Amino acid sequence: MNRLRLWLLAVGGAGLAVLLVAACLDLPDFGGDRHPYGDRAVHASLLRHTANTVASVNFDQRAYDTLGEMSILFAAVLGCVVLLRQARDEHRAPPEPAEVARPVRRYALLVLPVALVTGLYVIAHGQLSPGGGFQGGVVAATALHLLYLGADYGALERVRPLGLYETTDALAVSAYLVLGLAPVLAGTAFLANTLLPYGTFDTLSSGGTVPLLNAAIGMEVASAAVVLLAHFLDQAVEIEEEHGS
């Protein structure tokens, strides 16, 4: 059985490898100068005063696509919350306060505010410098969890009222939708970046609706990551199986 499986894998893998290498040899040369879509994306981004072209692609030219991406994230968090709920044969035990080595505690509490501010900075400057809502959201959410490393789980739970983050997650998704619908009411297309002035190039308020959509995504990703990690941590730290059942 196992040998058969390995043989099948070897034959299939070799065939796929040959096809992939043949395809690679036929691709345009690496580092080539012809990028028609890239050139047009850069042109469109500069027309709308967005310094970070990647943000312009994500939140202006392909904003509809980002809506789908955000929905995937939202649905996945929902799925995880359902999968990782407390089952009938389990109970919650408050975790014991644990000893933390002093250097770890000091370092974690020192880095926490720095990491949090860095995350918020990366979100806020999404349309100007590399980064944006997705990246900054993850940084901000994980920064909170330094409290778990530096203190203990109880301390993390006190700064992390889960209901609030779940509501924020849903609100951020709705905010993105409302920002998408506003141009429809104004007579243009869904998620079209036509409502707001494009502002001065390379300033915080440049890019029309790009900074707003970026902020909505930042909020969504940060709260989604917090909710997701909370449920995994609950499983590891708090939820236990009933004994003797």
Partner 1 sequence: MHVLPYLVAAYLFLTGCYGLATSRNLIHAVGCLAVCQSATYVLLLAVGYRDGGTAPVFSDIRPGSRPVVDPVVQALTLTDIVVGATVTALLLALVLQIAKRHGTVDPDELRELRG
Residues that bind partner 1 (CB under 8 A): 5-6, 9, 13, 16-17, 20-21, 24-25, 27-33, 35, 37-38, 41-42, 45-46, 51-54, 56-58, 62, 65-66, 69, 72-73, 76-77, 79-80, 83-84, 87, 128-130, 134, 201-202, 228, 231-232, 235, 241
Q: Which amino acid is at 55?
A: A
Q: How far is the CB of 42 from partner 1 (least distance, A)?
A: 6
Q: How far is the CB of 61 from partner 1 (least distance, A)?
A: 8
* Cα angle: 179, vertex 194, 49; to 5 degrees: 105
Residues sharing a CB contact under 8 Å with residue 100, sequence separation 6 or more, in sequence order = 149, 150, 151, 152
- Per the listing, tokens 């007579």 go with 187
Of the two residues 39 and 96, which places its CB atom closer to partner 1 in the complex? 39
Of the two residues 132 and 150, which places its CB atom closer to partner 1 in the complex? 132
Contact 193, 48 (CB under 8 A): yes
Neighbours of 57 (CB within 10 A): 20
Q: Is the Cα torsion angle 158, 159, 160, 165 positive or negative in sign?
A: positive
Of the two residues 9 and 181, which places its CB atom closer to partner 1 in the complex? 9
Q: Which residues is 92 bridged to in the sheet?
A: 239
Q: Name the DSSP class of 240.
A: E
**Which token pair is 41?**
């994306």
Q: Is the Cα torsion angle 39, 45, 51, 56 positive or negative in sign?
A: negative
Q: How far is the CB of 206 from partner 1 (least distance, A)?
A: 10
Q: How far is the CB of 226 from partner 1 (least distance, A)?
A: 13
**Which token pair is 80?**
């995880």
Q: How far is the CB of 109 from partner 1 (least distance, A)?
A: 27
Of the two residues 19 and 186, which places its CB atom closer to partner 1 in the complex? 19
Contact 86, 92 (CB under 8 A): yes
Of the two residues 182 and 227, which places its CB atom closer to partner 1 in the complex? 227
Of the two residues 45 and 209, which places its CB atom closer to partner 1 in the complex? 45
Q: How far is the CB of 96 from partner 1 (least distance, A)?
A: 22
Q: Is the Cα torsion angle 208, 179, 66, 122 positive or negative in sign?
A: positive
Q: How far is the CB of 64 from partner 1 (least distance, A)?
A: 12
Of the two residues 190 and 232, which places its CB atom closer to partner 1 in the complex? 232
